[in-house]
Amino acid sequence: MTEIVDVAIIGAGPYGLSIAAHLAGSGVDFRIFGSAMHTWRTSMPEGMVLKSEGNGSNLYDPAGEMPLSRFCADRGLPYQDIGFPIPLATFIDYGIAFQQRFVPRLEDRLVTEVKPTAYGFDLHLGDGEVAPARRVIVAAGIRAYEYMPPQLADLPTELASHSAIHVKVEPFAGREVAVIGGGASAINLAALLHRTGAKVTLIARRPAIAYCGPPSERTLLERIKEPESGLGTGWRSWACCAMPMVFHAMPEAFRLMVVRKHLPAAPGWTLQPQVDGIVPTILGATFARADAVGGRVRLELDLRGGKKQIVTADHVMAGTGYRVDMRRLAFLGPDVLDRLDCVNHTPRLSRWFESSVPGLHFVGTAAANSFGPMMRFAYGAGFVSRRLSKHLVRASARGSVRGGNAPSAPWPKATLAGT
């Protein structure tokens, strides 16, 4: 049998790579599986820019040797901590360069199943190898969680699709496309499709598109009233960044409410002049039905005031975001899911990101309901990599087996559906 390692990491985006960079040289024997920056390379359209500011778009090594600012300076690329939209291509290149420098042993291999064992876990790989590990960190990103409105779910993919599959929008030049949603994904797509020459109609449930405000020079008083953080300005965002462990200690109902309401998927300020008054937009609209008619899509919309509107298009793109659900992770089977205690289909986590399955940790968006909205952004990888790597070093030094310590507090009876 292949040698058992202390830790296996699934996923090679900002969270997986930052954790691996912290573990490298620490004495923790680990393997990391995945394709570097996979979600960013395969699920976001070419030509988009990041919504997060430059100072909130770093990956994290222990000594802070390679922030995005240094990467850009070394390559002569434009950069500002605040006020300069970071191109997606720059962020992808940065992530790959970070991986090559700090995580050269990344294994670009698919994990097909994670099975609990007496010593921890067996990771079954796509090429047939079985990789044993005492602990597993799931840093799998958001790709599996795409949400498709039920009215569109049964339409053929040539007529309706989620935004996550559209890296290139040039094939839609000259075609009529309806884009659904008012968040960052939908508005990015609407702008890029219009620029490409598509005939775009934007349809959103909101009464107005809530763009993020542009950065500006701020007085000392303004900075006191609305402090800056890696998630923007305001005391709530500052608290989410500065006190994730306090957030973890809060009542669960409060945590769920904050994660649901704070920092919704608002588009960046740079998109407003590309969409407002440029792309035909229908606001305050909800689906009544969607049908395939003559090779096109016929959308029946319910508008405010009891009105209805019909929109036809060659294709419908759903920029409707993602909903975390452990059942959507193909590598988690019933022997894990049946033991995984969840709320709203997300795992309840200990102070060390450990689930009710001992030794199985979750980071990134899957950890947001436990540690706050920061976990939905790359910025959260700094906190996670520092805290979790310290815990894993201590666990490795103790010679922990079968996934190490039990969770830090007793778990209620496992329930995947949650409360």
Q: What is the pLDDT of residue 264?
A: 75
Domains of the chain with CATH codes: 5-145+323-397 (3.50.50.60), 150-211+266-318 (3.50.50.60)
Residue pair 10/38 in contact (Cβ under 8 Å)? The answer is: no
* Closest-CA residue to 177 (of 163, 112, 167): 163
Alpha helices (H) along 61-112: 68-74, 88-102
What's phi and psi for 206, nearest 5 deg?
-70, 155
Provide the CA 158 distance to its chain's centre, in angstroms: 26
* Closest-CA residue to 172 (of 200, 204, 202): 200
Q: What is the pLDDT of residue 402?
A: 45
What is the residue whose two structure tokens read 């920056």?
37
Sign of CA dihedral 377, 381, 384, 387: negative
Q: What is the pLDDT of residue 400?
A: 55
Q: What is the pLDDT of residue 261?
A: 85
Q: What is the pLDDT of residue 1?
A: 61
Residue pair 140/17 in contact (Cβ under 8 Å)? The answer is: no
Residue pair 64/137 in contact (Cβ under 8 Å)? The answer is: no
- Ranges under pLDDT 70 in the chain: 1, 399-419
Residue 46, SS3? coil
Residue pair 292/159 in contact (Cβ under 8 Å)? The answer is: yes
CA geometry: angle 301, 302, 304, nearest 5 deg: 135
pTM for the whole structure: 0.90
CA-to-CA distance for 372 and 345, rounded, in angstroms? 16
Amino acid (1-letter code) at residue 191: A
For the chain, the straight-line distance linking the first and the last C-alpha, in angstroms and rounded, comes to 41
371: tokens are 């540690």
CA-to-CA distance for 173 and 18, rounded, in angstroms? 38
